[in-house]
Structure 1
Amino acid sequence: MRVHVTELKEGDRLASDAFNDFSLHVMAKGTVLRTYDITKLTQHRIDYVDIEERQDSAPASTIRTIESSISPKWISSVQPLYKSVVNGCESLFRQAVEEGRIEEFDVNAMFQPFVGSFQSERDVVSMLLLLNSEDDYTYQHSVQVGMLAYYLSSWLGYPDRESVRIGKAGFLHDIGKCRVSKEVLNKPDKLSKEEFAEIKRHPLYGEEIILASFEDPLLSVAALQHHERMDGSGYPHGLVGDEIEPVSRIVAVADVYSAMISTRVYQKKRDLLFVLKELYRMSATQLDPHTVQTFIKHMIPNFIGKRVEMSSGDTGLIVMTHPTEFFRPLVKLDERFVDLTLEPELDITQVYM
């Protein structure tokens, strides 16, 4: 029984060895396919394989990786925790204003259990969309940057203990905004020169608050440097390249991504594909290229199984992503498969999450 790789499902058994276009042996006859195996076949750009007859007559489902779905049960269980952490973040901001410091015990008590609740979930795109609301931007943004910094550091190869530290750094990165007036933070119009100067002081405020609260220097460094840019165009100190610590580069990418996908008083929520393309563009000058590419490489597979609109007006499904051409996936349009790396005139204009 010969099938396209996009029609494979877990439990299918290969009826013959699988080879790629370079005649390299990829998978042995008799392999019982798991999600990992199906992904491996697609990565080797193998189009068709032979499988043994299935026991049931049900049609094969379109390939879906672990990354392409989130359990509704998980969402219903974690959403109250998410709201609790967002509310807790607001209380931390108040504490920082009133006392000039925050309690490490309070931060650990709210952030670490939250990290533990989403460690097994991989669909970061859908997770953030399902949990996100338009209220309390500053506090939701802090929670989201913490989540994203945790994931991104894991993807970069940091051990889990370090990833949790970096996630906590992301969670606290904007604590200095507690000293910026809400009128300036939430102003829908263009900021005056004086107002922007006030905003630009929040990394310094954050460093001061964290140094008074924690012994871990990684946390204060991220607060201080998360608006620094690789080309020296950032603030508060205009650092360049390697002058910016790795943790700050990670938090910067998480910060920019979260800010761009969020609805704010002065900004509409942007399309996710546009946001990732914008991050990729910024990696040429402002953001660390390796960090951005790692982020995009792990975010793009979350688009598998999502409905898209094409520049031709057609709608279809993303069925496979490309390992290097991040924004040119394999798309199923009606009954045909279109490899966008071979169709330069065709683009995805919208991804429906």
Structure 2
Amino acid sequence: MSAKLLFRLGDAVDADVYSADGRLLISKGTVLTDYHIEHLDKHQIAELSDHSEHTEEAASSEHQESVIQKLYEENMQLIEGIFHNINDTGVLTEELFIEAASVQDDLILQLRDDRDFIQCILQKVAVDAYLFKHCLNVGIIARKIGELLSLPEEDQILLARMGLFHDIGKLKVDQNILNKPGKLTAEEFEEIKKHTKYGYDLLKDSPLDSIFLLSSLLHHERNDGTGYPGGIKGEKIPMLIQILSVADTFDAICSNRVYKGARSVFFAVDELVKEAEKGRLSENIILAFTAYLLQHEKGRLIQLKDDRTGRILHVHPDKPNRPVIVINDKQVLDLKKVGLTLHQLMH
């Protein structure tokens, strides 16, 4: 049955109308126009679905969010405690490491089936807890990238652990510089850069695999030699640390800081692709990760410039930031062909 036979122009719908995949199409009380009728026809809506199913799904989703929030807070508190313990004692004990790993695994397990887990972790907590939030997020994101690259499970786990401790050296940086709201002087930036060496020194006497020391020391190195502290290049940077660097950069862009607001995932995708094109970060890693991010936005309504809206129809594996989109559900535009990025259409 056509929507035109079920719904009449000018009627007010008496219940929310959902698509087959559970997306809300029209809210209860909406007075139907020709646009609404055509919209329903496109989704082949011939009958009203049982709203109780969606209510149950919403309740389940809220419960899952509550579980994730609790686990996230537990991870944050534990990481903060461990960091301060290492700062005071100069060593990460095996017991503390195992405790951190166990709690992190519980959180990752809850997040793995969450389609929006990237957005979920980016939206957590405030600026004053940035260091602990950032380390937790980087571990989760790095593990996901490892999964996207089909790395062995043990390497994925290692990436998650590396993320937890990669920025611990920032505890030794002057906090007034670290949290300065304005632009850093050249001398202040040099002090910030020392966090890589500070982190190495804090972890060197701990019973950890050497990759943890290297991840703290090398996560700001870049493939073209423009990074720090050593200016090393390409294959001299271990692959796991190259993955960590991508996760670190992505979370930093999307996070609130005292000196900048959080930027969107679409902006971050553009920035990561630029870093790959410049040869600073691994192209293979970035293409896999950014394609994953954009694939998860397919079908969702995206606000563009000039009050237009768009939806992603196809993501090009070689140019994820230039997908094929449909504007206002009418005009199909291949951004790769016209040389624009999705973020450019949004801002």
Same fold per superposition (TM over 0.5): yes
Q: In the alignment, what sits opposite 1:99?
A: 89
Give a deviation string over 1:104-132, Cα, whole Å, max 9, x none: 32233232322223233343432224435
Judge conservation of contact 2:291–2:316 (CA < 8 Å) in 1.
no
1:166 corresponds in structure 2 to: 159
Q: Aligned-pair RMSD on alpha carbons?
A: 2.8
Separation in structure 2 between the aligned mates of residue 258 and residue 179 of structure 1, nearest angstrom: 21
Q: In the alignment, is residue 80 of structure 1 matched against residue 70 of structure 2?
A: yes
Residue in structure 1 matched with residue 129 of structure 2 by the alignment:
136
The partner residue of 1:57 within 21, 24, 46 is 46
The structural deviation recorded for 1:73 is 2.8
CA change 1:252–1:179 in 2 (3 A) is: same
Alignment of 1:202-213 (within 5 A): 202-213=195-206
Q: Which one of the candidate residues 312, 315, 327 is aligned to 2:321?
A: 327
1:238 to 210, 215, 231: 231
| AA aligned opposite 1:276 | V
CA distance in 2: counterparts of 1:230 and 1:277, whole angstroms: 18
Show the counterpart of 1:185.
178
2 CA distance for matches of 1:337 and 1:278?
27
Deviations 1:100-157 (A, max 9, x none): 1122322332323222232333434322244354341111111110111110111111
Aligned to 1:268: 261
CA contact (8 A) 2:322 2:340 kept: no
What is the Cα deviation at residue 222 of structure 1?
A: 0.8
* Contact 2:316 2:322 (C-alpha < 8 Å) held by counterparts: yes
Q: Which of 149, 152, 155 does residue 148 from structure 2 map onto?
A: 155
CA shift for structure 1 position 92? 1.7
The answer to whether the 8 A contact 1:180-1:202 is kept is yes
Which of 299, 310, 332 in structure 2 is aligned with 1:338?
332
Shift of 1:204: 1.2
* SS class of match (2:208): coil
Worse-superposed segment, 204-213 or 189-198: 189-198
User: What is the SS of the residue equivalent to 2:312?
Assistant: strand
Question: Counterpart of 1:280?
Answer: 273
Q: How does 1:6-85 map to 2 (within 5 A)?
A: 57-58=46-47, 71-85=61-75
Which structure 1 segments of 5+ residues have no match?
A: 2-7, 11-53, 61-69
Which of the residues 95, 112, 123 maps onto 2:116?
A: 123
More helix by share: 2
Residues 220 and 228 of structure 2 are in contact (CA less than 8 Å); yes or no, is this contact kept in structure 1? yes
Which of 292, 296, 301 does residue 298 from structure 1 map onto? 292
Q: Greater relative contact order: 1 or 2 (C-alpha under 8 angstroms, separation 6 or more)? A: 1
How far did 1:164 drift? 0.9
- Provide the C-alpha distance between the structure 2 equivalents of 1:227 and 1:289, rounded to a whole number of angstroms: 16
Q: Distance in 1 between the 2:232 and 2:167 partners?
A: 19
Change (3 A) 1:192 1:332: closer
**Matches of 2:77 and 2:338 in 1, distance apart?**
47
Deviation at 1:350, TM superposition (A): 7.7
- Deviation at 1:342? 7.4
Amino acid in the other structure paired with 1:233: T
Equivalenced residues, count: 294
Question: When the two structures are superposed, what TM-score results if normalisation uses the length of structure 2?
Answer: 0.76
Instruction: Tell me which of 102, 108, 115 is aligned to 2:98.
Output: 108
After TM superposition, which residue ranges in structure 1, 4 or more long, deviate above 4 angstroms? 349-352
**What residue in structure 1 maps to residue 244 of structure 2?**
251
Q: CA deviation digits over 1:313-332, x for unaligned, max 9?
A: 41133344333331233434
Look up the SS of the partner of 1:266 in the other structure.
coil
Identity among equivalent positions (%) equals 29
Contact 1:310 1:346 in 2 (8 A): no
Higher mean displacement: 126-135 or 241-250: 126-135
Q: Match for 1:75: what amino acid?
A: E
TM, length-normalised to structure 1: 0.75
Q: Note the alpha carbon deviations across 1:184-232, whole angstroms, 9 max, x for none.
A: 1101122233322221111112122222113311211111110001111
User: Do 2:138 and 2:247's aligned partners in 1 also have CA atoms closer than 8 Å?
Assistant: yes
Shift of 1:163: 0.3
CA distance in 2: counterparts of 1:99 and 1:351, whole angstroms? 51
Contact persistence 1:328–1:339 (CA under 8 A):
no
CA–CA separation in structure 1 for the residues paired with 2:321 and 2:269: 9
CA distance 1:347–1:279, change in 2 (3 Å):
closer
- CA pair 86-302 structure 1, distance change in 2 beyond 3 A: same
Q: 2:4 maps to which residue?
A: none
Deviation, structure 1 residue 351: 9.2
In the TM superposition, residue 280 of structure 1 has moved relative to its aligned partner by 0.4
In the superposition, relative to structure 1, how do residues 276 and 210 fare at CA in structure 2: closer, same or farther (>3 Å)? same
Distance 1:349 1:215, change over 3 A: closer
Q: In 2 relative to 1, CA 275–209 (structure 1 residues): closer, same or farther, beyond 3 Å?
A: same
Equivalent residue of 2:230, what SS?
coil
